Amino acid sequence: MNKIIPSLKIEKIAMHGYGIGYAENKAILVPYTLPGDVVDVQLQVEKKDVAFATLVQFRTISEDRIAVKCEAFDGENACGGCDWLMVPYYLQLQWKSDLVKGQFAPLQLQSKVTAAIASPSSFHYRNKSFLPAAVSASGIYFGMYERYSHRVIPHTNCLLHPKLFDDIFNEIAAFADKVKLPVYNETNGKGILRHAGIRINQAQEQVLVVLVTKSSKFPFTQQLVRQLTQRFPQITGIVQNINRSTGNVILGHEEKILYGSPYLYDELDGVKFRVHYKSFFQVNSPLAQLLYGYLEEQLQPTDIVLDAFCGNGSIGLYVADKVKQVIGIETEEAAVADAEFNRELNQKENVSFRQGTVEELLPSLIKERKFSTVIFDPPRKGVDEVVLQAVVQKEIPLILYVSCNPMTLVRDVSFLLKHGYKAENITPFDMFPQTWHIETVVKLTRISA
C-alpha cells in the first residue's frame, strides 16, 4: 500500500493545477486542493524532490473553497475536464497571473506580467467539445477521460460547454445503445463508435455534429440523422469522420457528409468566419474577441503582418483593416480553404494565405517581403527554433506571440531575448476558466543596434 502523509498543509498552487504541500523533504503535489487546505494524502509516484499524491480526507478546509455543482468533479469518479471548480473566479484569475509570473521568473520578467484578462463567461463558454464513447452495465455513454488515464467518466451536466451539447451527446448515446452499435475498444482495436464532437457558433443558431468511427460502417445513419435534426433544428451539419488508426489522435483523414455541411458560420466583432469542423478556432469566442482586439491595438496602419499558424485566418482577418497587408501560413488544407473563403466573405483584399508548414514557408517568405510584424499562434509544442532563427536573422521589428503553453512560450521567449529582442509586456487571457490552462500574449520588440 502506498504511503499515507497525514495533515499535509497546502501552501501554494503549481502548474497543472496542483496544490503543493511539503513533507519528508519533498514537494507533494495534490490535485483538487488549494492553499489553506490541510489534508491526508496517499503518495502515488515518488521522485527525489517531488511526489504526486491523491486526496484521502480533509483535516481543515480552506476558507476560499466554494461549493461545487458537478457530480464528475474530484472524488473517485472525477473527470479531467476541470481543475478549479472549487475556487472563486477572481482567485482563479489571480492564480493564473501568478503562475505566468512564476514561469517567467528565471528570465526576470515578472514585472512585465499583467493581471489576467477575465473571460466574459466563466461557465458554459466552450464552443467545441469532443468526447470519447464508452460502455457500462447501464449502456453507452459519452464523457471526459479521468485525469491521466483513458477511463471515461460519464457526464450529465458539464459546466464548460452549453447544455445543448449534453442533450445531443445523450441523444446519440441512447440511439447507439438502441441499435447496439459497438463502441471502440482501445485495447483490442475492435468496435465502431469512437468519439462524438459538437461545435456551435456564438449566436448558438448553428451546430455541427461529428461522429468519429473506426470504419466506414455505421448502421442506421439515416435514422440517426432524422432523429437528431428533428429534435435539434439548430444542427446544420452532421459528419461521419473515419479514423482507422489505433493511436490517440481523434480525427482521421476520411469523412462522409451525412447531412448539411461540414462547417458553420461564426462572427467576431463583425468579422465573419466559415469554420470547418477540422479547423482551429478559439474555443472561447467572447474572450477571443478581447484577445484579438488587444493584438489589433499593437499594430500600425503601415504594418505588413505575417500571421503564422493562422488556422482559418481569424486573427489576420480581424486585424486586416488596421494594417497594410497580412499573409497567413497554415498546414491544414481545410483550414486554408476556410481562410480563403473568409477573405472573400469579408472582402479583405489585403489578406492572402499560403498552405504548408511554418517551418517550410516562413524563412522564404520573410526573404521575399519586408514584414514589420510576425504573429505566432502555435500549437502547444511552440515554435521550431529554425523559424525563430529566421525571424531573428531578418530582424523583424515586432513579434506578437500567442501561446496556450507557458512552458514552451518561456523557452521560445528566452531564445528571442538572447538574440536581440526585449519583452514589452506579457498579458494572460483566461481562455479556459475552471481549469489551470491559460492563453498568454507576449509582445516583443527588436532592440535597436
Residues annotated as part of the active site: 404
> C-alpha cell of 385?
527554433
